[in-house]
Amino acid sequence: MTPTGTEALRDLVASNLATARERTELLTGCVDDGDLVRQHSPLMSPLVWDLAHVANQEELWLLREVGGREPMRPEIDPLYDAFEHPRAERPTLPLLPPGEARAYAHEVRGRVLDLVEAATFTGARLLSGAFAFGMIAQHEQQHDETMLITHQLRKGAPALTAPPPAAPPADVPSLPREVLIPGGPFTMGTSAEPWALDNERPAHAVTVPAFYLDTTPVTNVAFAEFLADGGYDDPRWWSPAGWAHRQRTGQTAPLYWRREGSGWVRTRFGVREPVPPAEPVMHVSWYEADAYAAWAGRRLPTEAEWEKAARHDPVTGRSTPTRRRSSAARRPGWRRGGSCPRASAGGGIAPGWPGRAWGPRHPRGTGATAR
C-alpha cells in the first residue's frame, strides 16, 4: 500500500525518483558519448534522447504544472515530445549533446527535490497522494526499460553484464503443474491506488469462468522442444497474422537464439552464451508465444484471467494489492495458464526466476496458456 502520511509520501517519492535515476545513470553512463548519440536501431531512440526526455517530462509535470515554475528551456520542448517525432527521425533533431543533457537532468532533479521537501500532497489532483511524482518516477522507469532494450540491440563491445538468476524457490519441485483458478466475479483495476494510471482505472467487476494456470514459467528447454518439432515451420500452430509475421521476418527461432553445433546459444547485451535450459524463455513475440501454446495444446490467458490469478483471493472473495508494475526489477512475463476444462502453458521474460510470482502479459514475452 502507498503510504498516506506527508513524511511517508516524501520518503516514497524521493526513494522512487532516486532508484529510477540511478538506473538511468547506469544505462547512459556505461557507454561513451558516441554510443549515446548513435541510433542503434530505427525502432529505438538514441540513448541521449531518452535521457533528456525523462528530464523534460519531469520539468513539465513537476516544476511547471505542480510547482508553477517558469520553463527552464522551452525551446527544447518540441524536440522531446514523443508524439511529435517518431523514433526513427529523432537522430536528425538538434538534440542536447550528452554533457548538456546530463546537466539539464541534474538541474531539473535538484529543483524537483526542493519541491518535494515543500509539498503537502493535498488539493489538486496532481498533488493528491503525490500522483504526479509517482507518475514521473514510473515514466523514468519505463524509459529505463526502453534503454535496456536499446542496449540489447546495440552492437559493439559489451557494456552491461547481467547476473545469473537466483535459484528457484525450494518448493518448486513439489508444486503441481497447474492450479485451478475458480470462476466467478472479481474486481479488476483499481479506484484506490494513488499512483495508478488511467488505463488501470476504475475498479470494476468482471466475471471469468474457471481456468487452470501453470505454476511455473515455460523454460528454454521446453521451448526448444517446440523448435525441434518444427514448430516454426508448421502453420498449424500459428494464427493467420502470426504466420504472416513469421514469413515476413523469416524467423526460425527466438530473436537472439542461434544454432551452434547440437545446441543453442543466445546473445545477451553483446555476450554470446549457451541458452540456459532451466531459465524462462525470453524475447519471443506474442505470435511465437501463441504458436507454442497451440503446439502444447494450450492457449494464452486473457488479461482478465491474468489479473484474477494475480489478485483474487478465493477465501475472502476480494482483490488483493499487487506489486507495482513499473519496477525495473519486475518485468512482465508469460506463464502457463488457461480456462476450463483445461488451459495452460507459458513462460517468463524476466532475468531471474519468477517462481510463483504472477505478472501481466507483454508483447515481447511469451504468455501463459490455458486449457
Cβ(332)–Cβ(365) below 8 Å: yes
Question: How many other C-beta atoms lie within 10 A of the C-beta of residue 346?
Answer: 33
In a domain, 167, yes or no: no
Same structural domain, 117 and 209:
no
The reply to whether 204 and 291 lie within a common domain is: yes
- Distance (Å, whole) CA 203 – CA 191: 5
Task: Examine residue 1 and state whether it is found in any structural domain, yes or no.
Answer: no
- Side-chain-side CA neighbours of 322 within 13 Å: the count stands at 26
The answer to whether residues 184 and 326 belong to one domain is yes
Q: Could you tell me if 128 and 214 lie in one domain?
A: no
Please give the full DSSP string across 160-226, using - where no structure is assigned. ---PPPPPPPTTGGGS-SEEEE--EEEEES-SS-TT--GGG-S-EEEEE--EEEESSPPBHHHHHHH
Strand partners, 265: 258, 274
Mark whether 325 and 197 lie in a shared domain. yes
Q: Which of 166, 209, 189, 226 is nearest to 346 (CA)?
A: 226
How many other C-beta atoms can be found within 10 angstroms of the C-beta atom of residue 174? 6
Q: CA 353, 213, 219: angle at the middle one, nearest 5? A: 35
Q: Which residue type sits at 245?
A: H
Q: Exposed/middle/buried for 107, CB within 10 Å: 0-12, 13-18, 19+?
A: middle
Residues 294 and 365 grouped into a single domain: yes
Residue 242 forms part of a structural domain: yes
Both 187 and 79 in one domain: the answer is: no
Residue whose C-alpha is closest to residue 48's, from 109, 84, 99, 108: 99
For each of the chain's 371 residues, which pLDDT tens digit applies? 445 589 999 999 999 999 999 999 999 999 999 999 999 999 999 999 999 999 999 999 999 999 999 999 999 999 999 999 999 999 999 999 999 999 999 999 999 999 999 998 988 889 989 999 999 999 999 999 999 999 999 998 999 987 887 888 888 889 898 999 999 999 999 998 889 888 899 999 999 999 999 888 899 999 999 999 999 999 999 999 999 999 999 999 999 999 999 999 999 999 999 999 999 998 999 999 999 999 999 998 999 998 999 887 777 767 776 543 322 222 223 333 332 333 333 333 222 222 222 222 222 233 344 45
Q: Which of 92, 123, 153 is the last residue of a domain?
A: 153
Task: Domain of residue 227: give its range.
Answer: 173-370
Same domain, 147 and 271: no
Residue 162 lies in a domain: no
Which cell numbers in the block locate residue 326? 513499473
| Same domain as 149, residue 260 | no
| In-domain check, residue 91 | yes
Residue 49 DSSP code: H
Contact between residue 158 and residue 164 where contact means Cβ atoms under 8 Å apart: no
Strand partners, 289: none
Residue 305, in any domain of the structure: yes
Compute how many other C-beta atoms are within 10 angstroms of the C-beta atom of residue 75. 8
Q: How far apart are CA 177 and CA 155, in angstroms?
A: 40
161 part of a folded domain: no
Q: Does residue 292 contact residue 221 with C-beta atoms inside 8 Å?
A: no
What is the reported pTM?
0.81
| CA dihedral sign of residues 168, 174, 178, 182 | negative
Domain end position, chosen among 153, 183, 205: 153
Same domain, 35 and 122: yes
Domain end residue (candidates: 153, 188, 215): 153
* Count of structural domains within the chain: 2
CATH number for position 80? 1.20.120.450
- Does residue 163 form part of some domain? no
Same domain, 356 and 207: yes
Radius of gyration of the chain (CA): 22
Q: Are residues 264 and 365 in the same domain?
A: yes
